[in-house]
Structure 1
Amino acid sequence: MDWIERVAGIRRWSKGSERAPHKPLLLLYALGRFQRHGNRPILFSAAEAELKKLLREYGPPRETSPGYPFHHLTSDGLWLVETATGPGSPGPELGRLRDSQATGRLHPDLARALSEEPTLVARIARFLLDANFAPSLHADLCLLVGLDLETLETAGETMANGVTIRRDPAFRAQVLMAYEYTCAFCAYDGWLDGTAVGLDAAHVRWRAFDGPDELGNGLCLCAIHHKLFDKGVLGLSSERTVTVSARFVGRSDSAREMVLALAGRSVRAPQPGLEPVEANHITWHSRQIFRTPARAS
């Protein structure tokens, strides 16, 4: 049985290009638990707060419930739910999951395969990360779910449905050159021994959601603003100014200077004649990643 293909075939709610990473987040959480404790049942009431935090930090901006993936993942043959009265999920409602003492665990066939093939945990986790989240978020997400990142980094590229998940190495060079090796938000332009340092080529629409490795979907950002952009703290307006989430709190001088002061600032444009970020990618990021509302500039 090809478990990567099974994971790639997870049924999920969809509406256009909206993000719905609820099931992948639960699977990553379960894989982290498996690495540490084996396939022990996970009591919903004990895991609810952790799952809610995962959805709040890495799910879509809209309100979501941890009961949704805990119940609905059972339909994909990867997850089993039992209650105090026997097998079967009581549904996605939080109260019913708590009251019935619902527990979840990986399907025994999957757990057996994970035990027999040590690299399978890493390969499934790598696929889930690449298929659902921006690369800048992978390390923090692994830490939060308790996955051994060092093991994941040795897993290599993952095959799913005959397609290799692979990044275009030319994208970074193209984007950094277009923006003259300068952060489009703060104008940082550090170099070390003739090489740009601390600068990234950020995808506006994530590759996991059909974001192309093209200049019209890229921004040159310093490492900190790249992370904040992917977390939804920073965004872009239709007028190509920086937006800052009103949910962000920063009390230090550095937080005010590096983040809050960006609100309303014009985003640096690429060199004349080169393509700026396309409006449809800005719209996607604003709806799917940015944590509304935006602060007044």
Structure 2
Amino acid sequence: MSIRQEVLDRLTSLRLHQQRGRRAPHKPLLVLLALGQLDRGGSSELAWSQTQERLSDLIAEFGPASKTGRAQSAAYPFTRLRSDGVWTLNRDVPMDLVGPLAAHDVVGRLDAATESALRKDPDLVRRVARALVEQHFPPTIAPDVLTAAGLDPDDILQAPGVMPVPARRRDASWRVAVLQAWDRQCAFCGYDGQLGHASVGVEAAHVRWWAFDGPDSPDNGLALCVLHHKLFDFGALGLDGDLRIEVSAAFTARTPAGRSTYDLHGRMLQPRPGTQVPAIVHIS
């Protein structure tokens, strides 16, 4: 096996914590942060004092909701990524503890062999970064994750794919079927703009992300406008078990345009007869 392939395999096969069927992307976010640091400065070295806040922000914005404190959430991947054999710390500290990280301002970095291979091969950095966001985030959010990690999304998302034989194959007909089922209009706000004969700004959205084993099935899809698709994937919007739209209490807006999102709260989905609605297993 080539060194390039070995690095790809190791960085895209991280062991992730799972809770209620959802994988926590803490380790991939730390690796992306290290790749951004490497891309900018030639070294993946990240000091805890300078990284804690950035990593905490990434986890809070793109990870699952957690009752754990921000520093504690960042300490998990910063210490536990060592167990995957791709991360080293300049001091041997216990797993998960914030105190020793702060007391000694511990420095972490990708292991020497991995960093050397990445430094010599900028294309490998792009391939790894693309693979990580495609594995763990939907396409609506991937550019935001890369930008927040200090990487150029236009550059990264044009890199060649690294998974020649995906574990699951997408259903090429799923998108068209979902849009047709929902009359090519946003299931939340009713937007149905067209340019000529083509819908514009309306997308097929997974209720349960593909990255979290959401299937390409009619009961896992909604037609959503671009805005509400992104808000849905971010968790600003959701559904309850009665198919009513929920607006997250964490979502805020100041302008009338932004505050119009509040009006969606409590609105029930109104599919046409025969349309398969999202299954409870995917909503939950």
TM-score tier, shorter chain, comes to over 0.9
Q: How do 1:249-264 and structure 2 match up within 5 A?
A: 249-257=252-260, 259-264=261-266
1:41, distance to aligned residue in structure 2 (A): 2.1
Match status 1:58 vs 2:66? no
1:265, distance to aligned residue in structure 2 (A): 0.4
Rounded to whole Å, the distance in 2 between the matches of 1:70 and 1:157 is 27
1:38, distance to aligned residue in structure 2 (A): 1.5
Q: How do 1:128-277 and structure 2 match up within 5 A?
A: 128-159=132-163, 162-163=165-166, 167-257=170-260, 259-269=261-271, 271-277=272-278
1:166, distance to aligned residue in structure 2 (A): 5.8
What stretches of structure 2 of length at least 5 have no aligned partner? none
- Greater RCO, 1 or 2 (C-alpha within 8 Å, sep 6+): 1
Q: Which residue identity does 2:119 align to in structure 1?
A: S
What stretches of structure 1 of length at least 5 have no aligned partner? 284-297
1:94, distance to aligned residue in structure 2 (A): 1.5
Rounded to whole Å, the distance in 1 between the matches of 2:156 and 2:171 is 20
Kept after mapping to 2: 8 A contact 1:4/1:159: no
Q: Which residue identity does 1:145 align to in structure 2?
A: A
Which residue, out of 70, 74, 80, partners 2:82? Answer: 74
Partner of 2:117: 113
Give the 3 Å change call, closer, same or farther, for CA 151–89 of structure 1 in structure 2. farther
Which residue, out of 94, 98, 111, partners 1:94? Answer: 98
Kept after mapping to 2: 8 A contact 1:158/1:164: no
Partner of 2:131: 127
Over the aligned positions, Cα root-mean-square deviation in angstroms equals 1.6
Secondary structure of the residue that 1:169 maps to in structure 2? coil
Kept after mapping to 2: 8 A contact 1:157/1:166: no
Sequence identity, in percent?
Answer: 41
1:211-250 deviation per Cα after TM superposition (whole angstroms, max 9, x unaligned): 0111110000000000100111100011101001111111
Give the 3 Å change call, closer, same or farther, for CA 140–201 of structure 1 in structure 2. same
The normalised TM-score by structure 1 is 0.88
**How many residues are aligned here?**
276
1:165, distance to aligned residue in structure 2 (A): 7.1
Which residue, out of 22, 44, 58, partners 1:18? Answer: 22
1:181, distance to aligned residue in structure 2 (A): 0.6
1:47, distance to aligned residue in structure 2 (A): 0.9
Q: Which residue identity does 2:80 align to in structure 1?
A: H
Rounded to whole Å, the distance in 1 between the matches of 2:207 and 2:129 is 23
Rounded to whole Å, the distance in 2 between the matches of 1:154 and 1:145 is 17
Match status 1:280 vs 2:284? no
